[in-house]
Amino acid sequence: MKFAAAFAILATMAAAAPMAERDTAVTDVQVLQYALTLEHLENNFYSTYLAQFSQEDFAKAGHPDWVRNRFQQIAEHEQQHVSLLSGALGAQAVKPCTYKFPVTDVNSFVALASVVENVGVSAYLGAAASIVDKTYLTVAGSILTTEARHQGWMNSAVLKDAAWSGGYDTPLDFNEVFSIASAFITSCPAENPALPFKAFPALAIGMDGAVTTPASTEGAFVQLVTGLGSKTYPVENGKVMLPHVQGIYYGVLTSSSDTTKVNDGNILAGPMIFNNPFDSKASNPVPTL
């Protein structure tokens, strides 16, 4: 196959000296380690709950046989991703961590799986611009599109919701994704190489606009990001008035009112994941922020 050679090249290059650093001091090897960290999380998520929930459990939750069978196939994909990235990184591969997921039954597993896959798409999309070597980029792109197919199937065939949020998927940067993943990680092996990423404090915004976070909200703004668009909204007296945007999108707390200048240096908390389903009768306009 054409990409068998590409994968072999990938493994050879990862085992060699690290690539030259960019302005952000992130190397291609670190991008692969970041991707493997996420794939370990997904792999553990699926293997844990498919072992816990039987075909009978899925049936009792209202799902036909093919739903669990497809989830089993997705689990196999995630294992393949782990094997590929681990083999490519060799001795530089990160090991799986210990995880805790808010899953109590089959339906909470299915709902969280959709969110996990969507974050995976945003993670690979956001990391693409930091990849120098085209072989790495091709492999990452191949995983990205597969993750998008997973999420599209879950949302439409299983959850009976829209398979997309709009005309564009939403890229997230390293620290934003790392913050989301950290909420599910309880500990990691001490020998894992330290990655140049950090987790922001948690952010929650209630239906009434109340902002809950350990960070200060004084003079802060909430930046909403959906697809390739974003906009900031002021937080006043601990609350923020946000529009109702369709689909899955993200929000961060920031000290900057200028959405073009929001970056890791002024993000105070988040991201929070929003999910506003819309039915098939919607006109699917460009989301209005």
Structural domains of the chain, ranges and CATH numbers in brackets: 2-187 (1.20.1260), 204-276 (no CATH)
pLDDT at position 285: 59
Rounded distance, CA 116 to CA 248, Å?
A: 12
pLDDT at position 229: 92
For 187-218, how does the pLDDT look when each residue is reduced to its tens digit (9 = 90+)? 999 999 999 999 999 999 999 999 999 999 99
For 121-179, how does the pLDDT look when each residue is reduced to its tens digit (9 = 90+)? 999 999 999 999 988 899 999 999 999 999 999 999 999 999 999 889 999 999 999 99
288 — pLDDT class (breaks 50, 70, 90): low
Q: State yes or no: pLDDT of 48 exceeds 90.
A: yes
200 three-class SS: coil
193 backbone dihedrals φ, ψ, rounded to 5°: -65, 140
Query: Cis peptide before 64, with omega less than 30 degrees from 0?
Result: no
Rounded distance, CA 10 to CA 142, Å?
A: 14
pLDDT at position 5: 34
Structural contact between residues 178 and 199, judged by C-beta atoms closer than 8 angstroms: yes
* H and E: helices and strands count for the chain: 7, 9
* Chain centre distance of CA 61: 26
282 — pLDDT class (breaks 50, 70, 90): confident
Tokens linked to 168: 């564009």
For 196, other C-beta atoms within 10 Å of its C-beta total 14
- 269-286 per-residue burial string, b: 16 or more CB within 10 A, e: under 16: bbbbebeeebeeeeeeee
Query: To the nearest whole number, what is the mean pLDDT of the chain?
Result: 90
Pick the residue with more confidence: 9 or 268?
268
For 72-84, how does the pLDDT look when each residue is reduced to its tens digit (9 = 90+)? 999 999 999 999 9
